[in-house]
């Protein structure tokens, strides 16, 4: 039986938590994932239709990241999915996504010949911009992605 952790408020890991093969469910309202070390989860489930936000900590998901309809805001940090399975990130189209700023990224391990979805997006007060990225590689790799929330005319490209 897979051990389960249900977290309703801020997750503050001071390096005592060991992921093992556990399932961690962040089910409260807007939640912070904080700590002083790299945080590793085996399976990480986000529920509640809100924002789960990394607060100054690199996060590693060893097996599955289930976004459902939530936003995982990495901010300036990286969220790394260490599983190279194509379905290691679960999400509902147009709803569940990862957003980042600055050097923040969604990182995935990949295997040659498979196609991987990076459910990326950004939201502001009025609009959610969902832009999934599909990547297939010719070799085993680790690839980082993030959506840059800019208009194309920001760099003088025409809007079409």
Q: Identify whether the C-beta of residue 73 lies closer than 8 Å to the C-beta of residue 52.
A: yes
Domain total of the chain: 1
**pTM of the predicted model as reported, rounded to 2 decimal places:** 0.90
In a domain, 160, yes or no: no
* Structural domain harbouring 94: 4-155
φ/ψ (deg, to 5) at 81: -95, 110
Does 96 score more than 60 pLDDT? Answer: yes
Does 57 score more than 60 pLDDT? Answer: yes
What are the Cα distances from residue 32, in Å, to 59, 100, 127?
12, 14, 22
In a domain, 117, yes or no: yes
In a domain, 103, yes or no: yes
Question: pLDDT digits over 5-40, tens only?
Answer: 999 999 888 777 888 999 999 999 999 999 888 899
């Amino acid at each position: 039986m897979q051990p389960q952790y249900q977290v309703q408020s801020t997750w503050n890991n001071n390096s005592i938590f060991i992921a093992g093969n556990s399932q961690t469910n962040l089910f409260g309202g807007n939640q912070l994932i904080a700590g002083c070390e790299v945080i590793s989860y085996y399976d990480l489930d986000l529920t509640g239709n809100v924002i789960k936000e990394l607060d100054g900590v690199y996060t590693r998901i060893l097996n599955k990241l289930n976004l459902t309809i939530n936003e995982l805001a990495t901010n300036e940090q990286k969220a790394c999915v260490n599983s190279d399975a194509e379905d290691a990130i679960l999400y509902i189209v147009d709803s569940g996504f990862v957003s980042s700023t600055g050097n923040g990224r969604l990182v995935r391990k990949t295997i040659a010949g498979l196609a991987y979805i990076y459910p990326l997006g950004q939201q502001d007060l009025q609009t959610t911009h969902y832009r999934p990225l599909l990547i297939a590689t010719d070799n085993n790799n680790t690839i980082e992605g993030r959506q840059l929330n800019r208009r194309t005319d920001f760099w003088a490209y025409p809007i079409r």
